Amino acid sequence: MLTYDLENRGGLPLYEYLYRCLRDDILSGAVAAGTRLPSKRALAEHLRISIITVEGAYQQLAAEGYVIARPRRGFYAAPVDHPPAAPALVEVPAEESSPRWRLDLKSGRVDSFPSAVWARLTRQALSEGGHLLPTPHQGLPALRRAIAGDLRDFKGMVVSPEQIVVGAGAEYLYLLLAQLLGREQVFALEDPGYPKIRQVYAKWGAVCRPIPLDGQGMALESLRASGAGVAHISPAHHYPTGIVMPIPRRQALLRWAEEADGWIIEDDYDSEFRFTGRPIPTLQSIDARGRVIYVNSFSQTISPSMRVGFMVLPPRLLERYRRELGFYASTVPALEQQVLGRFLDGGWYEQHLSRTRKKYRLRREAVLEAFAACPFTAGLTDRGAGLHFLLRLNTRSDDEALRRRAEGLGVRLGFLSEYAAVPDPAYAHTLVVNYAGLDVERLGETAALLSEVFF
Amino acid sequence: MLTYDLENRGGLPLYEYLYRCLRDDILSGAVAAGTRLPSKRALAEHLRISIITVEGAYQQLAAEGYVIARPRRGFYAAPVDHPPAAPALVEVPAEESSPRWRLDLKSGRVDSFPSAVWARLTRQALSEGGHLLPTPHQGLPALRRAIAGDLRDFKGMVVSPEQIVVGAGAEYLYLLLAQLLGREQVFALEDPGYPKIRQVYAKWGAVCRPIPLDGQGMALESLRASGAGVAHISPAHHYPTGIVMPIPRRQALLRWAEEADGWIIEDDYDSEFRFTGRPIPTLQSIDARGRVIYVNSFSQTISPSMRVGFMVLPPRLLERYRRELGFYASTVPALEQQVLGRFLDGGWYEQHLSRTRKKYRLRREAVLEAFAACPFTAGLTDRGAGLHFLLRLNTRSDDEALRRRAEGLGVRLGFLSEYAAVPDPAYAHTLVVNYAGLDVERLGETAALLSEVFF
């Protein structure tokens, strides 16, 4: 009969150790498939253990399929692979570790996370249990009401909370929109432009057409010629050119959407940072025909690590969204939705915005002044908005050579030419400066380091 | 010259009110396109206001494109649409409000959110600033290390944190996997099965083949015949049948993957709730060839409102994932990743699991006992695992008629037949009972209410 040394079992419970011994014998073939195991009573007596212990081991073996229990006949070893596929020691490719830059003009984001208020609101939300409420796929009603209120008070947008869909960041919303608008659509994208927009739509399998920009934004004739049914634009402050789309072009795009029976995705990224004058009315707010899908997020204004964005759907699309995509669960934790809703309702968000706006305005002025005086600067394009500007370089070197040279010195640069799908010599020798992460106290060093790169 | 009543401006700043007056006149056509506006000095004198006020209004008009500034010549009204497209008062379709059920056997989830510990860990994370760290697309390294540790200690899985991808819930991970494995793949899905899996892959445009189950899970011959390259299975506790896949079938599926050069998505949903014996080894842990993608989430174990899931990619897919999908930002807030990592590391998760397991075990026993005694019960399928079981009804009524009758009485039922892509009379008259949300104190009332439905 099966005999095992049950003394040296390394702290395992008796039934579990017995289970393992039997399992290993079945796997190794020592107990062949079809073999009847000893009865529980017989094995218990043989090993001088209780029947309950044997029972536990046999049941586990049966549950996992190593043995087959036949009523009133006993337990039989099941046919299994010998030897079992052992987990191989696999080589896992290591992640690219992100280098520590001495200077980073490409991402350059600072984080202005309002930790103290956030902690207080989180504690409140947890103690009141609001985070346990079921979360509809469009997001918590309280958060959507707060967002609609903020859009009304600070952007003059008349939006019902029912039109709002909350999601885990702008990219996730692009992915939802790709699914909503359909793969057969042609997407017109600003060129140059933010590469992730193209990446998401292209992954989805949609045809993406790069549309050149003139001084006012997406060029209309090219848009018309593209056959696109969807235009994804960022009129408030285009990345990376910084163009702010004037009213006539906004109106012309709305007319295009009506004529083409198309949709405009208004990506309102960066609109909160306008340093001169009032914010320009969004396309959504002057859209009478329900052609505009408004998208924004809290990544720039609170923190990129927050992962909360939202979109405002026109009524026609709303029904389609609910019918076709309503099965998706909300992607943002209920707790975070609660806290963000309170943050907006309590006025902390606007307070926070006003504070960061002031901070960035000062930083922007200092950086522009310092860079204007540098010999490597041929010109600055300052549109009075957003967290980046363009700097034309006083150089004839190739962008790629400069980028490599900079990397060697621990400096990360972003060039306008990198953002173009269709290359154009006009884009050369132009830096996209994301200034928000720069240290104003060290602008002298920064300028010196950049001079090393460019001369 | 342009003349406006600047007294009654309803609390607006002077420059803003003037800007609005001018804008409205341009939009209405009162100031025609191409008209030169008065010089700043002239208008200031005319209206008896400061030049700076006029300057502010003109700049805002220029920034928004209502006027065009010509250097040394002045400001000219731009050509715009008259009248402007006013935001229409739109009818927004109302959301379906979810009815309040007297009894809900279909979703029936309770929330066991550990609010007190969570609040404390959140406060700690916020005060230490760890949530401000940049979040790699695969998720925070600290959280991935904690997940790998938990998989090692409690599931015997040898996994490198580098293989783990954190995402906003299981559905989002399905969406990533669809993009990773490619649209040309045929996905084999368990039938009956969890409908969202099919919905996500189908939305993505992949071909989905329903594969019938035999007593051990996905039927192999049907899988082979389907031409599928991906099999999505839930071997730990299948929804809704409750089948626990035995070892020989697991091994056979691994062999299939090797032969078919395919992939297995092991959806380990519900595996934490096993009430008899030890958990069965995951396919991932016995997969020597790197064919298994392991997916799990914290929705069942902590809260459906948490929206955190993760997957473990085999090394070959990891490189492809980083190359093709690495552009996606992490979809889970850094703060929540920090807190969850601490929750796992500190042992609170296993403590929490052990507590909820105990709670559900008792609830399960009470519910099974109460329902077994009911005249409408023809049989119960109890597999000793998971948060649901099957109840065969002692009735000849049509499932759909029963569902409608139940709804009339405020009772929400889920039928096995609803989960099938290919109908089969064998599925009829069978309830899927999600018992975790039932109140043990009121099982008498629950049974009485159900009796009303069925007789």
Q: What are A158-202's pLDDT values in tens digits?
A: 899 999 999 999 999 999 999 999 888 999 999 999 999 999 999
User: A331 and B290 in contact by Cβ < 8 A?
Assistant: no
Query: In A33-134, where do the E strands start and end?
Result: 67-70, 74-77, 103-104
Residue B334 contacts A, CB cutoff 8 Å: yes
As a 3-state breakdown, chain A gives helix, strand, coil percent values, each rounded to 5, of 45, 15, 40
**Rounded CA separation A80/A87 (Å):** 16
Tell me the shortest Cα–Cα distance from B317 to chain A, in angstroms: 10
pLDDT band at A4 (very low <50, low <70, confident <90, very high): confident
Q: Does B113 have pLDDT greater than 50?
A: yes
Q: Does B271 have pLDDT greater than 90?
A: no
Query: In B219-333, where do the E strands start and end?
Result: 230-233, 263-267, 292-297, 309-312
| Long-range contacts of the stretch A77-81 (C-beta < 8 A, 24+) | A77/A26, A77/A31, A77/A32, A77/A33, A77/A34, A77/A35, A77/A37, A78/A26, A78/A33, A78/B246, A78/B247, A78/B248, A79/A33, A79/A34, A79/B248, A80/A26, A80/A27, A80/A33, A80/B247, A80/B248, A80/B251, A81/A27, A81/B251, A81/B255
User: A288 and B335 in contact by Cβ < 8 A?
Assistant: no
pLDDT value at position A97? 65
The mean per-residue pLDDT over the stretch A237-253 comes to 93
Q: Measured between beta carbons, which residues in chain B are less than 8 angstroms from residue A286?
A: 84-87
Tell me the shortest Cα–Cα distance from A396 to chain B, in angstroms: 31
∠B350-B355-B361 over CA atoms, to 5°?
Answer: 120
Decide which of B130 and B181 is more confident: B181
Q: Does B89 have pLDDT greater than 70?
A: no
| Long-range contacts of the stretch A422-429 (C-beta < 8 A, 24+) | A422/A191, A422/A210, A422/A212, A424/A212, A427/A192, A428/A398, A428/A399, A429/A378, A429/A392, A429/A393, A429/A395, A429/A396, A429/A397, A429/A399
**Rounded CA separation B290/B316 (Å):** 7
pLDDT value at position B294? 98
Q: Which residues pair with A77 in a beta bridge?
A: A67
Q: Does A87 have pLDDT greater than 50?
A: no
* Closest among A183, A197, A189 to A223, alpha carbons compared: A189
Least confident window among A96-100, B76-80, B412-416: A96-100
Q: Does A214 have pLDDT greater than 60?
A: yes
The mean per-residue pLDDT over the stretch B356-380 comes to 93
Q: Measured between beta carbons, which residues in chain B are less than 8 angstroms from residue A96?
A: 322
Binding-face residues of A in 385-444 toward B, CB within 8 A: none
Least confident window among B130-144, B235-249, B288-302, B343-357: B130-144
Phi, psi of B115 (to 5 degrees): -60, -40
Q: Does A155 have pLDDT greater than 90?
A: no
pLDDT band at B87 (very low <50, low <70, confident <90, very high): very low
Residue A329 contacts B, CB cutoff 8 Å: yes
Query: Among partner residues A60, A138, A327, which is closest to B277 by beta-carbon distance?
Result: A60
- Work out the burial of residue A41: count CB atoms within 10 Å of its CB; fewer than 13 is exposed, 13-18 middle, 19 or more buried: exposed
Best of A204, A307, A313, A323 to substitute, by most chain B Cβ atoms within 10 angstroms, is A307
For residue A312, give the H/E element and its range: strand A309-312
pLDDT value at position B2? 80
Tell me the shortest Cα–Cα distance from A402 to chain B, in angstroms: 24
Q: Does B413 have pLDDT greater than 80?
A: yes
Q: Does B220 have pLDDT greater than 70?
A: yes
Decide which of A267 and A94 is more confident: A267
Decide which of A42 and A432 is more confident: A432
User: A281 and B64 in contact by Cβ < 8 A?
Assistant: yes
**To the nearest whole number, what is the mean pLDDT of chain A?**
90
Match 């934490």 to its residue by tokens. B272
pLDDT value at position A84? 46
